[in-house]
Amino acid sequence: MDLKNSNFSTAQKRFFRGIIVCAIVCLLLECFWFNIRFWESIGYKQSVPSKITYDKEEKTVDLSGFDLHIDNIYMDVFSNIDDEQVIFAIKATDDTDTVGFWLASTNTLRDIPESRYVRLHLIGTTDHLIIKFDRDIDYESARFVFNTPRPFNFVPSRVALIFAICAVIILFWSGILKVRLDIKDKTHMMIIIMAGIFLFGAWMKIAESSYYTEAVFKEYDRINYVEQIYNYLARALLKGQVHLDVKPPSYLSGMTNPYIRAERDILTLQTGEMDHMDYAYFDGRYYCYYGLIPALFFYVPYVALTGQLVYSYWVVLVCAAVFIPSSFAFIYRLIRKFRGEVSLDTYLLLSLLFINCCGFLTYVKRPVVYSVPYAMSYCLIVLGLYFWLTACDKEKMSVVKLILGAVMIAMTLGTRPVFMITLLLAFPIFADRIKKGDFFRLKAASIVNTSAVIVPFLVIDIPLLFYNKARFGSFLDFGSKYNLTRDLLDDRFILERIPGGIYTYFFQPMNINASYPFIHAINDKNIFPTDYQGAVYNELFAGGLFFVIPFCIALFFIPLVIGSMKKNRSRFIVFTLIGISIFLALVDIEFAGIANRYLTDFSIFMLIAAVIVVLSVRNKDTVRLRKAFFVICLLTIFLAYFLLLSDGRSLTMRYNMPNGFGYFKYLFFDLR
């Protein structure tokens, strides 16, 4: 229900009062806390070492000829080198250890001036420092200065970012948005649209700031990487063929098993011919085993019209532009079906939670060719479910929406085939209508409805199966086992993989420590963290689903709300979603491996289930529940973005974007 005017006025006052306090606190933090080294160093007396010795072989600089208390050291080692970062460790003496001891390794970054100051915490006086670098530097032009007063550094972007985060929290916490959601209200719609635009703008910035620039894509193509495979597929399709116009190295045809990487590496060295990573090799030709639908929608039209390359991050951003509004609409339909009505703030929180945490953000952060079929699949899943949910709005089912929903989900066979399992959700979505005879009955309306769901799958998927037949000689062979990344020809179901895989995918805690970025990989690449003695493909992993998406913990409270779920008829769809998630996890464990990107195969279904469970909650103690809901939503959204910095993902920012990685370190977390 709408709040009374007096309550709304109180919420307004609370909001504006909070905004004013927030602005003042942000300015004070910037002037004093984030500039604490400026205030601390005002009285420092600058000095330089009188003796500097270089050892190029050991990559060390030996500083001596002084005897003083050192509070900080300023170093500039980027005079004549282009590297973005230099990692180093310092060995120092002080009154507690005159022999010297090593300090933790750290780094300095070319484009971040703050990183050139190192705050030392030594006791008494120091007469000797050794600095060991991870690479050769221009020792003659390097500068080393002790006890340098730090400049005052007011960073408007830091103030703006902290203020924006706090303002959003205040906006929800104040209760100003605690009014009944009315999708027809212009103000409500404007707030929703602005939230979507702001979110897409942030995603564009993340994608554009990623490691995967146009230059990287072109370099990947030069080294025979898979990145441009969709462009090659588009050119092949325009010629009327299904194999790629890329010549495989001659030695592949003579190999007994061309899918064994180690043997190919030897032949590459011997012949100088390089194979293409992650291309499907079959019967002497290269094929693209990635889904056909993205090629038809994005690559073929663009290549036909312009003859130019399509870069993956363009496609991911286009999908993001579709996914965001589709998800707002989808969450609204879930609310209408399983709750009836909610407040505007609850709707916004659930929508932002779903959009940011279902897995799509992983593709935005890493907009490479691997992300293209995933990103399009997510759009198709959300749109398909949205149309099916809205098809039941009226007494007479909407045949057009049934068809549109079926078309969307049918196309997932041509993006990422495992997502075709989404069609099983038709049964819980239409369960009531099936009971009423609107499906699977020998009457005109029922036949039309049933055909509207089934026929699009036949029309779309049968040609896709013939596409498989044309490439690999089998309707059900999608070609993934022929990829040249690793040998999958002998992959088989092994029961012993499952316990470790389930634990890793769902229950593995994050590896958290006090070193930025605080969340680190839980296992080394290619090592399955169990006693299982066998090969399991494994990438750096951040943590299990219930830790990286803590909102999904709501699923453990199903026994407490099972009565409400019975009333709103959500049990069938929730358990179907959970079943789909577990099935997809098992498929990945057995036939794909352990990777963050594979976690997104089922995270979207688990999160939908958790959202429905929360919508089923009915309790008189709404104040405590609302606070708990608010906190868990914000925590989950925060984690989704913070995990972008973590070392728990492949090709992490630390190594591929050191300046971007260091920017956040020196912006918030490092007072060095």
What pLDDT was estimated at residue 193? 95
What pLDDT was estimated at residue 3? 42
Do residues 299 and 310 make contact, with C-beta atoms less than 8 angstroms apart?
yes
Q: Where are the beta strands (DSSP E) in 134-202?
A: 143-146
What pLDDT was estimated at residue 2? 44
Do residues 505 and 544 make contact, with C-beta atoms less than 8 angstroms apart?
yes
Handedness of CA 28, 33, 38, 42 (dihedral sign): positive
State how far the Cα of 237 lies from the Cα of 295, in Å rounded to an integer.
Answer: 9
State how far the Cα of 638 lies from the Cα of 644, in Å rounded to an integer.
Answer: 10
pLDDT digits (tens, 9 = 90+) for 546-583: 999 999 999 999 999 999 999 989 999 999 999 999 99
Instruction: Count other C-beta atoms under 10 Å from residue 10's C-beta.
Output: 15
3-state secondary structure 620-656: CCHHHHHHHHHHHHHHHHHHHHHCCCCCCCCCCHHHH
- Which two three-digit tokens encode residue 439? 């499906």
What pLDDT was estimated at residue 45? 93
Look at residue 262 and give its three-state secondary structure. helix
Burial class (CB in 10 A: 0-12, 13-18, 19+), 396: exposed
pLDDT digits (tens, 9 = 90+) for 426-476: 999 999 999 999 999 989 999 999 999 999 999 999 999 999 999 999 999
CA distances from 126 to 45, 50, 99, 147 (A): 15, 14, 11, 12
State how far the Cα of 386 lies from the Cα of 379, in Å rounded to an integer.
Answer: 11
Do residues 587 and 598 make contact, with C-beta atoms less than 8 angstroms apart?
no
Look at residue 281 and give its three-state secondary structure. strand
What pLDDT was estimated at residue 541? 82
Nearest-5° angle of CA 8, CA 9, CA 10?
A: 90
Handedness of CA 469, 474, 478, 482 (dihedral sign): negative
Residue 134, sorted as left (phi over 0), alpha (psi -120 to 50) or beta, turns out to be alpha
Residue 601's H or E segment, with its range, is: helix 596-615
State how far the Cα of 586 lies from the Cα of 505, in Å rounded to an integer.
Answer: 10
Residues of the chain with pLDDT under 70: 1-8, 213-216, 218-224, 486-491, 523-529, 619-621, 648-651, 670-672
Residue 464's H or E segment, with its range, is: helix 444-472
Among 237, 243, 228, 370, CA closest to 300:
237
First to last CA, the chain: 51
Q: Provide the greatest CA pair distance for the chain.
A: 98
Look at residue 398 and give its three-state secondary structure. coil
Looking up tokens 């001891």 gives: 101
What pLDDT was estimated at residue 489? 47
What pLDDT was estimated at residue 516? 84
Do residues 499 and 530 make contact, with C-beta atoms less than 8 angstroms apart?
yes
Do residues 131 and 88 make contact, with C-beta atoms less than 8 angstroms apart?
yes
Q: pTM for this structure?
A: 0.90
